[in-house]
Amino acid sequence: MSETITITRPDDWHLHLRDDDMLRAVLPETTRHFGRAIIMPNLVPPVVTAENAIAYRDRILASLPEGDDFQPLMTLYLTDHTDKEDLAAAHASGLITAVKLYPAGATTNSASGVTDIKLVMPVLEKMAEIGCPLCIHGEVTGTDIDIFDREAVFIDTVLDPLRRALPELKIISEHITTKNGVDYVMSANSNLAATITTHHLIINRNHLFAGGIRPHYFCLPIAKREHHRLALRQAATSGDARFFLGTDSAPHTNPNKESACGCAGVFSATNTMSCLAHVFEDDGALNQLERFTSLNGPAYYGLAPNKARLTLVKSAIPMDYPTHIKTANSEVTVFDPGFPLHWRVV
Ligand code: NCD
Ligand code: ZN
C-alpha cells in the first residue's frame, strides 16, 4: 500500500524567477506546488524602486499558468542609494514584503549591492521603524577571505554588529550553509530567522568534485563540509519555528553553467517537494515537513498559512521527472539529488 501525506500548500521564501523567456519557462515549476514565493530582485538591471517592483510583479502575473493560484511576494534590491521614502511607501501599500541586501559582488547580479552597511543604516532604521523585514545574503566578499569561510566571517563582522545596533530590525539570514549560521540563529532573539535550501540539505562540498567538476552543484553560498550539512538537516527537520524553506532555485542555462567560468545557482523548483519529503523521511521527521515548508515561514512574516493543501504519495517505483526544463533557446538542468525520488506530489 502506498503512503500518503497531506500538508498545507507550501511557500518558497527565496526564489529566482528571472524575466522574459526564462520567467515563462521556470514559473510553472514553482506555481504547480507553491502558493507564494519571495521573489529575488537581482535582475539586470535590478528591481530597486517601487516602480520597478510593480512592473516586475505585473510581468510575473502575466506569465502565470492558467488556473495556478500563486502570489509573488515582491522585494526591493537594497543599494547604497535606496530612497527610504519610496521603500516605506512600497511596504505600506503591500507592494513589497521585504528588502534584499546583497553585499556588492557577493553573488550573481550583485554588482549594484551594498558596498558598506554604514551607508544604508538610515534605510535600515526606517525599515525597523515600519516593520519591513530584511533578507540578507550573508557572505563577505573580500577575496582575502576563503570562500568556505565567507558566511561565518559575515556573521561575526557584519550580521552580529548590525543586530546589536538595530535589534528591532526583522532579519532573515538567507540560505544558511553552516553550523555557525544555525547556532547563531538559535542564540538570537525573535527578530532573526533563516531560510535553508533543498540542495544544501542534500549535498556537501565533495559533491562539487565527485569524479570531476560538477557545475550544476555550484551555487552561492557554496556547499560546505559534511558536519555543516548535518547541522542544517537537524535545524530544518527539528520543527524549530526559526528555520524554513527558501529553495534559492536559481535557473541558468546549461551553456552558462557548463562553462570555463560557470554561473552560480542550482535549479530545484521542479523536484523540491519530492526531495524534501525524502530528506525528512530519512531523518524520521516527516511530521515536521509541513512546519518547514508551509507554517514557519508565514508565521515569521506575519502572514496566514495557505488555505490549500498539497498531497504527496510514496510509491515503490521511483518518480519520473524532467532532467531539463526548456527555455526558448536553451535548457536549464534540474537539480539531481543523487538518489531516486519516491515521493510525488499528486
Ligand atoms: C543566485 C542567482 O543565480 O541569482 N545564485 C546562487 O548561486 N544562489 C544568487 C544568490 O542567491 O546568491
Ligand atoms: Zn538566491
Give the atom of ligand 1 at the shortest distance from the alpha carbon of 109. Answer: 4
Cell of 124: 535600515
Interval 128-184: pLDDT, tens: 999 999 999 999 998 899 999 999 999 999 999 999 999 999 999 999 999 999 999
Query: Is 248 one of the annotated active-site residues of the chain?
Result: yes
To the nearest 10 degrees (0 to 180), the angle between helices 84-92 and 121-130 is 20
Catalytic residue among 183, 248, 283, 336: 248
Interval 295-343: pLDDT, tens: 999 999 999 999 999 999 999 999 999 999 999 999 999 999 999 999 9
Interval 236-259: pLDDT, tens: 999 999 999 999 999 999 999 999
Quick one: which of 41, 72, 78, 77 has its CA closest to 57? 72
Q: Is pTM, for the whole model, over 0.95?
A: yes
- Judge if the beta carbon of residue 113 lies within 6 A of ligand 1: no
Mind giving me the DSSP string for 44-75?
SS---SHHHHHHHHHHHHHHPPTT---EEEEE
Residue 62 confidence (pLDDT): 98
Interval 3-48: pLDDT, tens: 999 999 999 999 999 999 999 999 999 999 999 999 999 999 999 9
Residue 74 confidence (pLDDT): 98
pLDDT at position 1 over 70: no
71-77 and 96-101: which strand pairing?
A: parallel
pLDDT at position 106 over 90: no
Whole-number Å distance, alpha carbon 249 to ligand 2 midpoint, is 7
Each domain of the chain, given as residue ranges in start order, spans 3-345
- Judge if the beta carbon of residue 108 lies within 6 A of ligand 1: yes
Mean pLDDT of the chain: 97
Interval 124-142: pLDDT, tens: 999 999 999 999 999 999 8
User: DSSP strand E in the chain: where?
Assistant: 3-8, 11-15, 36-39, 71-77, 96-101, 134-136, 171-173, 192-196, 243-245, 309-314, 324-326, 331-333, 343-345
Q: Percent of the chain, pLDDT > 90?
A: 96
Interval 191-224: pLDDT, tens: 999 999 999 999 999 999 999 999 999 999 999 9
Q: In the predicted model, what is the mean pLDDT of residues 264-275?
A: 98
- Judge if the beta carbon of residue 137 lies within 6 A of ligand 1: yes
Q: In the predicted model, what is the mean pLDDT of residues 103-119?
A: 91
Residue position matching grid coordinates 521603524: 129
Tell which CATH classification among 3.40.30.10, 3.50.50.100, 3.20.20.140, 3.30.70.260 matches the domain 3-345: 3.20.20.140
For ligand 1, mutation pick of 23, 220, 332, 333 (most atoms within 8 Å of CB): 220
Q: Whose alpha carbon is nearest atom 9 of ligand 1? A: 108
Residue 109 confidence (pLDDT): 87
